[in-house]
Amino acid sequence: MRSAILSALTVSATAVSAVTYDYIVVGSGPGGGPLAADLSRAGYSTLLIEAGGDEGLNPTYDDIANFNEAANDEATRWDFWVKHSDDPVRDLKFKHNTWDTGAGTFYVGLDPPPGAKLLGIQYPRAGVLGGCAMHNGAVTTLPQDDDWNVIVNTTGDVSWEAGKMRRYLKEIERNDYLAAGNPAHGYDGWLSITAAPDVSWAKNDNLTGTKILKEVARLTGQDVSKVADLVSKDILEDVPNRDQVTSFYNMAQHSDSKGKRSSPNNYVRATLAEKKYPLTLKLHTLVTKVLFSNSTDGMAKAPPRAIGVEVMEGASLYRADPRSVPGGKGPVSQIFASKEVIVSGGAFNTPQILKLSGIGPRAELEKFGIPVIKDLPGVGERLADNYENSLLALANQTVDLPGLITMQFRTPSAVGKNRNFFTWCGNFIFQGFWPGFPGFAGPTQFTCAMLHIGPKSQSGSVRLRSADPRDVPDINFRFFEHGGAADLHEFVEAANLLRESWLAAGAPAAPFEELHPCPGRLAKGRAECSDAAQAEYFKTQVYSHHASSTAAIGGDNDPLAVLDSKFRVRGVNGLRVVDASAFPVVPGAFPVLPTMMISRKAAEDIIADAKKAAA
């Protein structure tokens, strides 16, 4: 049924007319795509604008196993070249810095050829219907309760309480790995979520992977006799004190039981295919700014109101697109919204669009000659992300592990009681992003990827390079600027714990030859380098791909708050932001599911306001 619906639907980028819609949604990713579908299903005429095309039927994107190929594909890839700090010397130590050789190729590494131009650290995003949910690994997790409750604590809006937010998971979820009727899950939503069905390997004590699994259990205080059950534990479970539990889990993904990606692309296309909802999709259309009307209310001047958007039509106009042509441009026109404009461009593009529209720090806007609609200093600030890195080794023989060892755990020095790391170990390699990633270390490669939950530093920024909407902004994460020593110490603790578990592999897989962070043969459970050396490695080699918080929700007393708790941009009317930039902190380990959850919450808020206004 799914294939029939999608194949019968033809979506094209027709010329934008001057028609007026109830709502305009800018960006079709995890925030904007579901929101546009929900608004139209509620009966409101909605225009969804996407700068990229549609690859929903392309196996590179549709088959979840091809996610690495999808993230490398020029058909959708937007290359953001970012900085990790204000120290260029430190950033040049990053082993996967990318350089333009001038010959149509990239050089990746520490010793570029003469004349090569430094591009920076690649941070690929997806310019395509469905956004980054179309090229990611589809890992599906929930934020910690504290990540929801911080909004309650700063705004007073109790609708964000963690216990209430699960409702939005249940509304969008079509659970495909648990028996129907589990009260923690939904079974009729648009988002398929599945998990590996066969974990029988964990019952075979002769497997090298099972030996490592049991040693990890012992080191983290789990019941070694129950590991075969723990590896299939529901990572989206709803239990008391969930965030304090160190445990193995399943690796849930937003895909179906046939290995097909489930994303906003499917939901938007299905909504269009039913042909009974007032949803219009415009592809290959770059939004250049939001339009405002300075209306008056009696004698007092009312706040500026968003009334539409200006767009430029054409493929590959944005210069993050590797297919972009220098000087390329398309026809410019305007489209209008009678109710609201919702910006859902993601943590990089949303603040850029807001600033180009006159919403942002006054000094920055005036620097580029952009008329100031509203001075909001927080736009583009507080950029945050999880820190990621890995232990990589070559085993003496391929590790016999048919699946993944997935675990969330707490290191001894973590602040508070919550777990602070997500790890997945197996016969793969993942070392961050560069053109052509993930690389290959050999048939015996073995990795424990580590993702740090709840980074203490939120000091990054997204700032304009020019007033040209086709230019890519200047992005600097400023990793470890605040609380860096503590974060690095936690990383070292996590690495030391996971490394020790590898000793249990035994011959013939052992001994392991570690490639990083501590090159050398692993023996006696000790790293071949000091904790200080490991910390320095992590400081220079961490990477990330879960950017958030550049247009964050905050309280009235927060000078850097961009949104109120209903996603409304402060100081103007008719404008909201619904994407990962709205989170005041990084939402847990992987932001894609929480972003789709707040998309449903935003639809509820917007529809409630529309009904109230019409009453």
Q: How far is CA 471 from CA 167, 319, 321, 596, in A?
A: 39, 6, 10, 28
Helix (H) or strand (E) holding 397: none
138 annotated as a binding-site residue: yes
Q: How far is CA 294 from CA 12, 215, 291, 357, 363, in A?
A: 34, 65, 10, 14, 21
Residue 427: other Cβ atoms inside 10 A: 18
Residue 348 amino acid letter: F
Paired tokens of 411: 């290191």
d(C-alpha 195, C-alpha 179), whole Å: 13
DSSP for 222-239 reads --GGGHHHHTT--TT---
287 annotated as a binding-site residue: yes
Paired tokens of 602: 């935003």
d(C-alpha 48, C-alpha 267), whole Å: 13
462 annotated as a binding-site residue: no
Please enumerate, as own/partner, the contacts of 435-441 that have beta carbons within 8 Å and a separation of 24 or more: 435/72, 435/79, 435/98, 435/106, 435/108, 435/122, 436/72, 436/106, 436/108, 437/68, 437/71, 437/72, 437/96, 437/122, 438/68, 441/392, 441/394, 441/515
Residue 394 amino acid letter: L
137 annotated as a binding-site residue: yes
Residue 443 neighbours by CB under 8 Å, 6+ apart: 398
Paired tokens of 336: 């209008």
- Check residue 273 and report its DSSP letter: H
Residue 136: other Cβ atoms inside 10 A: 23
250 annotated as a binding-site residue: no
Residue 335: other Cβ atoms inside 10 A: 24
Identify the three-state secondary structure at position 180. Answer: coil
32 annotated as a binding-site residue: no
Nearest partner of 83 among 112, 120, 55, 110, judged by Cα: 120
- Give the annotated binding-site residues: 128, 136-139, 287
**Binding site members for FAD:** 128, 136-139, 287
